[in-house]
Amino acid sequence: MQITVALRGRTRLAALLHRLEQEVDQRRQGPRVDRRNRRTWRQLVLGVLVKRSTRLLALGQMVAPQRRAGSVKAAAQGVAYFLREAKFPSASFSLGLLEEAVRQVDPARLVTYKGKVLLVLDPTEYEKRSRERGKCGRQMEHIGRVRRAKSKSTPKTKKKKWSTGPAPTQGRGGPAQTEERRTATAPGYVDIWAGLVLKGKQVLPLARQLFSSRHPQCTSQNAVEEAVLAQALALLHRLGLPAIVLGDKGLGRKELIIRLANQEQDAVLRVDADITVYPPEAPEGLLLADALAQQPWRGEVDWDRGAEGRVRCRLRTLRATIRFSRTGRKDDVQEAPVHFVEAVPMEGLSESLVVATTLPVATVVQVRAIVRLYAQRWAIETGFETMHAWGQDRFMVRSWTAIDRLLWVLAVAFALVVLALHTPLLRRFRGQAEAVLKQLSVLGEHLTAGKLAEAIGLDFVRHSRAWLSAWLA
């Protein structure tokens, strides 16, 4: 089908990126970024948007016409060299751009609760087919272990599998005790992202950091997660935006919850119900599940489980103290009182939602609000779904630096498209994109970041010179 609509607002989209860069340059201290490196970086951002891929050959197709390269493969090698060797402050420059992007967002587009924005933190895993060693030492650098995307268990044979958990423990007078099902792992990397929740279950990236247990300077995923959280909170603090931290089970650690509570940082973090808590009526301690079971019901709510739909649940709450000791000594105990909210499905599911929060739960309305706040965490899952479609987990570069820089390019490209969805000056551009997609009957219910990037790719095929002229000016 011939497309009769063109994205004539492409110059405004390029101008938006240039304006963000100019604001970063004015706020940055130190030497300016080399013009040639910045030009290559812009080409890569456009390449991710147009090709919706992080493969070097796809990005090389974007770079080749602007370089003296004899082939796309030669251009791809130049991209690999830039990602691996160029003197380019990718992390600090990208963080500055993301901060400026937040400044450009209309406050009416932010999801807030009692005047506070929502900051969601979540790790994502990239499973790679690397055997952790390659010819001539060219394997992926510092590649670690991650959980397999699809783990097949065979209860009949109880086949032993790799585990990321603790080693088997030796019982008294008996063999080592092992779990019946163990988590299968594969080579890969973990990437921790923090994002600002926008209306429509969209997320604007704020910070990210790559992690591998094999990296000599990144031995603790918990420490990396807290570093990313601190970066994002500092960014929002500079903008005068108080935040509520949202996180899934992996972040619901007692140490982190206690630290946030003592810092008076509001949070809603999902936790397992098998931790020990200390309610006033049981100072010796109880399992959280048992303590919650003794509480009265406080109403009902619809638990939004994202792609899995909504579930009607009954609610109950508990206020209790949680304690943590890293060394086990009595003088090394941290503690803080927090609220726990449990949403128990009335039918169908057996697993309930249990979250720890520093927010008040005095009324039923406040309790329901806690469950609905946690549901906003799905915004980052929607963002991951879009970025995975753009090749977030399909990179083929080997260097740690190259992987990290490529993921920063992806973060900036995604943030630019999300910002374009909400910028008033690009209203006409969005209308043209919707018209393009309607001609192909692929628009769906509304325009999303992924659909807008698809429209940009379709328009680039017909107007590549106009795009490059505006983008690289």
Strands 310-324 and 334-345: antiparallel
How sure is the predictor about 1, in pLDDT bands with cuts at 50, 70 and 90? Answer: low
Instruction: Quote the pLDDT of residue 165.
Output: 40
Q: What does the pLDDT look like over 392-425, one tens digit per residue? A: 999 989 999 999 999 999 999 999 999 999 999 8
Question: Position 280: which residue type?
Answer: P
Q: What does the pLDDT look like over 278-322, one tens digit per residue? A: 999 998 999 999 999 999 999 999 999 888 889 999 999 999 999
* Integer Cα distance of 91 and 205 in angstroms: 13
User: Do 419 and 109 form a contact (C-beta atoms < 8 A)?
Assistant: no
User: Do 191 and 124 form a contact (C-beta atoms < 8 A)?
Assistant: yes
Longest dimension (CA), the chain: 79
* Integer Cα distance of 112 and 243 in angstroms: 9
Burial environment of residue 351 by CB neighbours within 10 A (0 to 12, 13 to 18, 19 or more): exposed
pLDDT at 177 over 50: no
User: Do 213 and 144 form a contact (C-beta atoms < 8 A)?
Assistant: yes
Pick 441 or 360 by higher pLDDT.
360
Q: In whole numbers, what is the pLDDT of the chain averaged over residues?
A: 88
Q: For residue 162, what are the contacts with CB-CB under 8 A and spacing of at least 6?
A: 145, 182, 183, 184, 185
Q: For residue 163, what are the contacts with CB-CB under 8 A and spacing of at least 6?
A: 179, 182, 183, 185
Range scoring the smallest mean pLDDT among 52-66, 94-108, 160-174: 160-174
Helix (H, G, I), strand (E, B) or coil at 287: strand
- Residue 463 has, within 13 A of its CA and on its CB side, a CA count of 19
User: Do 205 and 195 form a contact (C-beta atoms < 8 A)?
Assistant: yes
Instruction: Quote the pLDDT of residue 136.
Output: 65
User: Do 25 and 38 form a contact (C-beta atoms < 8 A)?
Assistant: no
Nearest to 122 by CA among 356, 383, 397: 383
Q: How far is CA 71 from CA 62, 76, 80, 368, 438, in A?
A: 12, 9, 14, 59, 36
pTM exceeds 0.85, yes or no: yes
Q: How far is CA 357 from CA 305, 320, 360, 366, 458, in A?
A: 19, 11, 8, 11, 45
Composition of the chain by helix, strand, coil, percent to 5: 45, 20, 35
Question: Position 222: which residue type?
Answer: N
Q: How far is CA 436 from CA 147, 162, 296, 313, in A?
A: 40, 49, 55, 42
User: Do 90 and 408 form a contact (C-beta atoms < 8 A)?
Assistant: yes
Q: What does the pLDDT look like over 214-256, one tens digit per residue? A: 999 877 999 999 999 999 999 999 999 999 999 999 898 999 9
* Integer Cα distance of 183 and 189 in angstroms: 16
* Integer Cα distance of 338 and 74 in angstroms: 58
Mean pLDDT of 342-356: 89
Interior angle at CA 116, CA 111 and CA 119, nearest 5: 65
Helix (H, G, I), strand (E, B) or coil at 442: coil
Strands 116-127 and 112-113: antiparallel
* Integer Cα distance of 212 and 128 in angstroms: 13
pLDDT at 4 over 60: yes
How sure is the predictor about 362, in pLDDT bands with cuts at 50, 70 and 90? Answer: very high
Distance of alpha carbon 423 from the chain centroid: 22
Burial environment of residue 255 by CB neighbours within 10 A (0 to 12, 13 to 18, 19 or more): middle
Name the one residue in this structure whose structure tokens are 């086949």: 159
Strands 243-247 and 176-177: unpaired
Beta bridge partners of 342: 316, 354
